[in-house]
Structure 1
Amino acid sequence: MFPLNQWYVAGFVWELQDKPLARTLLNRPVVMFRTESGEVAALEDRCCHRSVPLSCGSLEDGGIRCGYHGLLYAPSGQCIEIPGQVKIPGKACVKAYKVAVRNEIIWLWLGETADSQPVGQPPEIAAHDNPRYKYKGGVFHYDAPYQLIHDNLLDLSHVGYVHTKTIGGNAKTHMEAPTNVTSDGDNVRVVRWMKASQPPATYSAAWPFKGKIDRWQEIDFHVTHLNIFTGAVDADTESLEDPNRGGFHMRGFHGITPETETTSHYFWTMASSSHPDAPDNLELVYQQTAVTFEEDRVIIEAQYRNMCQFENASMIDIHVDAGANRARRIVAMLSQQAEQAA
């Protein structure tokens, strides 16, 4: 079981063009589409007639038409037309998921029961609408369980080893960075500082630092996504405790949604600030971030393959695992609640 009664990331609005978009989310085959009025709909990916995936069909003004016998479904999931047949059976419908769009992110409410109602709105990702930043993002598919991605993002000590050509820097500095881990309800926060360190390649390319930098990593874990605020200022110029500090900012959004127990979707964006006297750095930051996340995907998939090979081998914890272990306890507790409700 997965934690339920949650808003999960299902995609981005820019992915919905003139064709249906099929995705499996928490073992649920879903088809998403956008109507001419801009409404985003998500239905179970199955025609109620002969179970052909609706994602094999086409979009029309009224909704989505099955590509097998032409049944037309409204965004509500109700069949509203059967070619050659006047009467539409009352049971001619499919499940419709509750959808919300915020900051160009598509969220689906996945409840413990069929009548579970959303608790509030999906979270705001404020950097997407902040004029200080420009952002761009994408989607990765992982052949690995989603909690391995949580582990990776909550433990950025790996950056100095895995991402040597982009955001890495000195590996020893990363491993020895002062780290503060706190939790509040279902959320975990990890704050790491690396003062007087050498700027990594991505930082030097994106911002005109004068020499050494004071660098920060602020990771906020939520059950269905993480927000990671990283960046740097010239060493000894500003307090890292100042929420309004300047310098180079990278605000990452990471929507981690299970596809199945062993595969995952990773929806991400990176919003960055540009120096007023330097060229816009959006494309550079985007490209280097994509390279960085691809490096993570390769190593996490290799990790999972090896975990399957050494199925009964024990693993130890070290000091960098505190945040990830707290997150795992939260997910385990919520998953147990979902299983009991089911």
Structure 2
Amino acid sequence: MTVSIYIPGVSAEVNNGPGRQQGAYPLNQWYVAAHSKELTDTPVGRTLLNEAIVLFRKGNGQVAAVEDRCCHRHLPLSAGTVEENGIRCGYHGMLYDDSGRCIDIPGQDKIPRRAKIHAYHIREQNKLVWIWFGQQQDSEPTCEPPAYPIHDDPRYVSDGDVYHYNAPYQLIHDNLLDLSHLGYVHLRTIGGNAKLHMNARMDVESEGTSVRVVRHMPASEPPPTYTAAYPFKGLIDRWQEIVFHPSHLEIWTGAVDQNSEDVNNPERGGFHMRGFHGITPETSTSCHYFWSMATNPSQNIEATKAKVIEQTALTFDEDKVVIEAQYENMKRFVGEAMIDIHVDVGPNRARRIIEQLKTEASAG
């Protein structure tokens, strides 16, 4: 069976110029804009869904997001400074509040009514900063951001980072929904027996705009990351539970000693890795990958956490090399058919959901 995958960057339809592009991405959605820890006393400039945005934290601790430009001479506000009441341009000192309104012009008492820029709806929760993209730039949010209580769960310790990919965001969706690649790409970290990975039973369910993939691998050899973080006695029973949402994926992986517990029990013990993966398009050919990993060490908590985070970062380094090389070759071999195999059920369902949401955004 062949599969048709649209390849941004090789079509005349692609436009990575500034501004909102109807039909290019799912809209009426919350997307991850930053980790909470990224926003301190320095502005963060970031392109999200083709829009140049500056994120900052005000003196009262509240987060804000506005267009990354001064309305005077268009210097990026991310080149400016954060103050108690807003962000000040680094060229002529105009100060903007979190509504995008200019509230101070040095040396000038009167502030023109047109001295304002667009502001974004933004929410901070569970150590993540979310930004709303509606069908129209001034659309009000129609729902609250997705919750991710794992970041605040006392049973877990977590940390994370952000990657920039020179590849379309859906290639990362494909990668995360198909963990059969672990045995080939991640031999030094979370891999394991490649044959077991490729032959693991896979159950795929869809509901609304989400896709859930569950894979079990009984009687596995523990991979390097697992043995470095947990005192397994020998063979292990592994699980991989992946839930896709248009803005992010949640992946719960882990293992127990072989035959010691039911891996379907939601309260099972053993070694846990709960990954958050916020995939936000930068443009049609690039994206931001906001990740975190939570784990449940029973001893040497900080050392085990550090080891798990280090190993997780190594796996993402490995994936980044593969995905960016894949995209370069897709552009080189544009027009050549790609086939589907059994591991593509989850990724293909996610792609259909994204296409439907894009169609709805374009029609709206």
* Residue-pair matches, total: 341
Is 1:250 the equivalent of 2:270? no
How far does residue 173 in structure 1 lie from its aligned partner after superposition?
0.2
Is 1:49 the equivalent of 2:54? no
| Partners of 1:230 and 1:181 in 2: CA distance | 16
TM-score (norm 2): 0.92
| Partners of 1:114 and 1:161 in 2: CA distance | 43
- Kindly provide the CA deviation profile for residues 107-161 of structure 1, in whole angstroms up to 9, marking residues without a partner as x: 0001111332212221111111111110010010000000000000000000000
% identity of equivalent residues:
60
Write out aligned runs for 1:95-174 (5 A): 95-174=118-197
Write out aligned runs for 1:253-332 (5 A): 253-276=276-299, 280-332=303-355
Give the counterpart letter for 1:111 in structure 2. Answer: G
- Kindly provide the CA deviation profile for residues 196-215 of structure 1, in whole angstroms up to 9, marking residues without a partner as x: 11100000110001110000
How far does residue 59 in structure 1 lie from its aligned partner after superposition?
1.3
| Partners of 1:276 and 1:21 in 2: CA distance | 36
How far does residue 91 in structure 1 lie from its aligned partner after superposition?
1.3
Number of the residue aligned with 1:223:
246
| Partners of 1:279 and 1:311 in 2: CA distance | 47
How far does residue 277 in structure 1 lie from its aligned partner after superposition?
7.9
TM-score (norm 1): 0.98
Give the counterpart letter for 2:335 in structure 1. Answer: N
| Partners of 1:272 and 1:164 in 2: CA distance | 21
8 Å CA contact retained: 1:4, 1:110: yes
How far does residue 323 in structure 1 lie from its aligned partner after superposition?
0.1
How far does residue 279 in structure 1 lie from its aligned partner after superposition?
7.4
Number of the residue aligned with 1:234:
257
| Partners of 1:170 and 1:180 in 2: CA distance | 20
Number of the residue aligned with 1:18:
41
Number of the residue aligned with 1:75:
98
Number of the residue aligned with 2:110:
87
**Secondary structure at 1:281's aligned position in 2?**
helix
Q: Which runs of 5+ in 2 are unaligned?
A: 1-23
Find 2:359's aligned residue among 308, 331, 336.
336
How far does residue 278 in structure 1 lie from its aligned partner after superposition?
7.9
- Kindly provide the CA deviation profile for residues 279-307 of structure 1, in whole angstroms up to 9, marking residues without a partner as x: 74100000000000110001000000000
Structure-2 change in CA distance of 1:279 and 1:33 (3 Å): closer
**Secondary structure at 1:181's aligned position in 2?**
strand
Structure-2 change in CA distance of 1:96 and 1:199 (3 Å): same
| Partners of 1:224 and 1:245 in 2: CA distance | 28
Structure-2 change in CA distance of 1:277 and 1:83 (3 Å): closer
